[in-house]
Structure 1
């Protein structure tokens, strides 16, 4: 019975609670049982919060019996919170030895929204040290392993979240994404991960808010669940200068296209297809796997007449300079003083990125900001011709967990831990939301597609991603 419960979608679990077919406490215990069975070999949940969750569930049991639970969309839904996001009185370690015993004094805004909506936080999910890199290992909690091959990585930095979802330890999870940290692990674990439009999920911990690359976002096993969590954590907060309210439903994106006034309101969505955005290295297995999936989508009866997939020549050549420069600047701002005080207790990649940021000239920074504007305009012009853009999420399949990052992709040598993620980092440099959607398996390992939309198209993006993913079962 418990294994059946945890396999259900979050929306179905919430329905069962509303109908009193299952109580919040019963649902929580089913997830705790799953964590105790799966986590010892996966290492997704790094800080369990079982007793606090049990106390909250008992209160919710009474709310359900009293008929007072219907205003809480996540009541009884078991969630994981990334160990970079704060919960008051609970450790936030960032996977760093420097923060092993750090107790948060205030709950992160989007996490508080989840709790206020009734979510039961069962634990913190594992992340790379300081969430840097897309391979989840750190000196505090160790490595998180892929549920589909426990010798391989889950990606990162929201790797613990993705693995916990894939093994039904949680029904929903949060994460964050600077260069792919919601999308890469979602692809590697066969779940959905949304990098929202910057500002849609407000944050109070921005370092350089007006040039921000990073954002919190939702992860889930189904598109409907992703939409549910996103609807809870998104929305304006006056304390975040970038925040805004998304419309309750996104207007038709066809109004963005040239000649849209003459087109039928029922004309198919036009999705531009690019394997590599003109910049990203891809392993042969990924390139061929992507081509196979485009063929399946074009042949899918359930999409017939509703979607057109059109190959496009798009080259986001500005993206690497933009992403690397702004990321380095952000690292210098975040880690500069910390590295001076504790140079031996921070991993080498962070030190390297921080030193690159400290060495930047004003001219280099201004050039990157100018290039970013050009890049955003280039992609937005694409959305006058197409509703969405579709790419592989990642240029590689999940790689062996004992290596730090792939050193060669598609015959190209990788000089650091960033270059292999170029399909994601190129989009991070823009203002567009992007989602990794499950697209079946290659050689027994999950494979994801990245769907990109115009700024603030997040809700419709989730809906379309669900329809595309359904083609792959």
Structure 2
């Protein structure tokens, strides 16, 4: 048995029955990283092998903590893991070692995970292409000349290359969905607030980004969701969430699926993206669900204006001190500096107007979900692009006016905090993978996970492994 290729729940069951040891799993994990990470560059800040094997031996000799007991994980390099560097992809923080675990990492350790290192991310997680001046670029396991997406590109590539069995990610503007789609794995953006952020700074205003799980199967995705979710009493907007894993054993009722297409022409798609998603939607219909094309339910330009205002406000709020400090400002990548500066120049009424648009879209979406259980869009508007470019400047002949406009397709869910599961949708004629967003109503993540589980049983796309890696 190739332990490095097994799903996390399979490893968990084998470890619980003592058919394998945590040392076995750790050895297989590190051997796999040695074999393929040099080509992919997904795992960074990897800890010392001997220290990790000692930690695995200790896990074998200690009482079982939870379902992740003895399973290696690498943490996205935006979160703090005690004793490991947190660079956030920036030379400003390169070499900075975390003194404590972030809340999310503490929850993973409590469930028994063994933290082996970090996964690569763009600078401050900005941009859906994982490259930075600290660790370099992460390459797509299905074609190492292409991007792995981002900002959870390191996590997605590590999963696809079988270096880890589950991973954490985060998502503001598709950072779980885009890399999951481009690496042929699953990624779940939970309902906003169900996975609490760090209880620091402002805990009321910024309702855009969230952490979430990534995996090669919805069963693992659901198990990791249950570990990550749960309110934190220090955060007033954190939401309680029921357990997801037990829902997968229940029969999935008929789903009313709304296919949003290209949002009435507002979202340009590279050749083959729409066809791949339409084929996947047809397969959902063949599985017994009804599918109805949906005309644009809201003005895409208004939504975009609201999004870039609230996003710039959020980015500036967290990073303005780096922009105003003459020592750190030159070390910011241009897109980060521009976004921070834009956010700093916004007025209170700019933010109010953006929030009003967001409120109107939430009301329209709530009405839409009276007719549909799930809405569907592609997970990205283009295929994985050349790893050496910064970002696409045009799609299907349409010029992109910002560094992130090419990911506009993820905005409908992100703007109002809806749950979304990226499911692998297959491969294009170019041999590259693509994904499909399954979007549900607020607090509807459990039903989405059921649908993803049924989809996985019907397709099992992640079993189509990167051919050049073995």
Confirm or deny a common fold (TM above 0.5). yes
Secondary structure of residue in 2 paired with 1:450 = strand
Aligned partner of 2:442 in structure 1 is: 455
- 1:345-397 C-alpha deviation (Å, 9 max, x unpaired): 00000111111111212221110011111111111111111111111111101
Query: Any unmatched runs of 5+ in structure 1?
Result: 253-264
Shift of 1:96: 0.5
Given that 2:139 and 2:387 are in contact with CA atoms closer than 8 Å, whether structure 1 keeps it comes out as yes
1:85 match: 79
- Structure 1 position 322 matched with structure 2 position 306: yes
Equivalent of residue 133 in structure 2, options 122, 134, 139: 139
> Does structure 2 conserve the Cα–Cα contact (< 8 Å) formed by 1:17 and 1:76?
yes
2:15 to 14, 17, 40: 17
Matched with 1:472 is 459
**Does the Cα contact within 8 Å between 2:207 and 2:417 map onto a contact in 1?**
no
Q: How far 1:113 sits from its partner (Å)?
A: 0.5
Q: 1:370 pairs with 331, 350, 356, which one? A: 356
CA-to-aligned-CA distance 1:292-320 (integer Å, 9 cap, x gap):
22223323xxx23xx21221113332321
- Tell me how many residue pairs correspond in the alignment: 449
1:418 matched residue in structure 2: 404
Alpha-carbon distance in structure 2 between the residues aligned to 1:174 and 1:266: 27
Tell me how far 1:331 sits from its aligned partner. 1.7
Q: 1:178–1:208: structure 2 CA closer, same or farther, 3 Å change rule?
A: farther
* Pairing of 1:276-291 with structure 2 (within 5 A): 276-278=262-264, 279-291=266-278
Q: 1:320 to 1:246 in 2, by over 3 A?
A: same
RMSD: 1.8
Unpaired stretches in structure 2, ≥5 consecutive residues: 461-470
* Paired residues of 1:45 and 1:164 also in contact (CA < 8 A): yes
Q: Is the 8 A contact 2:276 2:426 kept in 1?
A: no
Secondary structure, aligned partner of 2:279: helix
Using the TM superposition, give the Cα deviation of residue 79 of structure 1 relative to its aligned residue in structure 2, in angstroms. Answer: 1.3
What are the Cα deviations for residues 154-199 of structure 1, in whole angstroms up to 9, with x where unaligned? 0000100000000110111101111011111001100111111111
**Cα displacement (A) at 1:88:** 1.5
Matched, 1:296 2:283: yes
1:73 paired with 2:67, answer yes
SS at match of 2:45: strand
Match of 1:59 in 2: 58
1:194 to 188, 191, 194: 188
CA distance in 2 between partners of 1:75 and 1:289 (Å): 38
Alignment partner, residue 275 of structure 1: 261
- Which whole-Å deviations, capped at 9, do the CAs of 1:260-314 have from their partners, x for residues lacking one? xxxxx98621111112334322113111222222223323xxx23xx21221113
3-state SS of paired residue (1:440): strand
**Residues in 1 aligned to 2:139 and 2:245: alpha-carbon distance in whole angstroms:** 37
What TM-score do the two structures reach when normalised by structure 1?
0.91
Please name the residue that 2:465 is paired with.
none
Corresponding residue for residue 464 of structure 2: none
**Alignment equivalent of 2:157, drawn from 154, 159, 163:** 163
CA contact (8 A) 1:213 1:429 kept: yes
1:432 maps onto 2:418 in alignment: yes
TM-score by length of 2: 0.92
Match of 1:240 in 2: 235
Question: CA deviation digits over 1:85-124, x for unaligned, max 9?
Answer: 0011211000110101211122010111001100111210
TM-superposed CA distance for 1:422, in Å, is: 1.0
Against the structure 1 CA distance between its residues 291 and 206, is the aligned structure 2 distance closer, same or farther, given a 3 Å change threshold? farther
